[in-house]
Amino acid sequence: MRDRTRVAAAGEERHPAGRHRSIRRNACPPPLAGAPSGLEVGQARLRSGVRRAGFGAASHARLRAVRGDIRHLPFASSAFPTVLAPYGILQSLISERDLTATLDAVVRVLAPGGTFGIDLVPDVPNWREYSQRMQHRGTAAGGAHLTLIESVRQDRARRLTTFEQRYIVRRSGRTAEHHFELTFRTLTVQQMSRRLEKAGFAIETVLGDYRGGPWNERAEVWIILAKKM
């Protein structure tokens, strides 16, 4: 699951790096010309994401991982031919205001005729509700004992799914607890399509899997490809 303002924006920069606006909160330099770019809200996750992707020194010459906010993309206008919002990123925007701001930001950074790819996770609103369920127990790195307790709530009327997670860490006779709450809003394909069209996109295709299969309401994933008008 992902935090509310996290995004993966990908594509190839069309303009020279010098044309990017200066963003003070941006911890990384702007993308290089011709380089794919990724956006992450947290500095620690920014570093770990690059490590997990396995990018070496040579790859860093063509990749820029940028710290920023999905609602205020820190890139030049018409900068990319493609922007991707994978694995339910837009579902973490639980207010209409945040979703509208994000779609407007994507329209701005996309070149005319550019493609916006959206990947929605349809099973989130189907998650069964439960309370204080132990989801994991085991040994973490460094020998600490870790227990994960989780609760799930569904607000069907507002299409909201909330995960409450409590991590209990025991090490050397000491116990620490960490609490997290994540909420997701799952619109239907039709609802998301209407919002995309209102923002200035034309829906090109809707897919039901990563192999290009047709979409239906029971599809394992909902993929929308939209073109900037």
DSSP of 21-37, one letter per residue? PP-TT--SPPPPTT--E
What mean pLDDT value characterizes the chain? 80
Per residue in 188-205, pLDDT (tens digit) is 999 999 999 999 999 999
pLDDT band at 229 (very low <50, low <70, confident <90, very high): very high
Per residue in 159-180, pLDDT (tens digit) is 999 999 999 999 988 999 999 9
Report d(CA 66, CA 46) in Å as an integer: 7
Q: Three-state SS for 97? A: helix
Report d(CA 226, CA 162) in Å as an integer: 28
Report d(CA 71, CA 93) in Å as an integer: 9
Per residue in 57-86, pLDDT (tens digit) is 444 446 677 778 889 998 899 999 999 999
* Of 108, 90, 107, residue with least CA distance to 99: 90
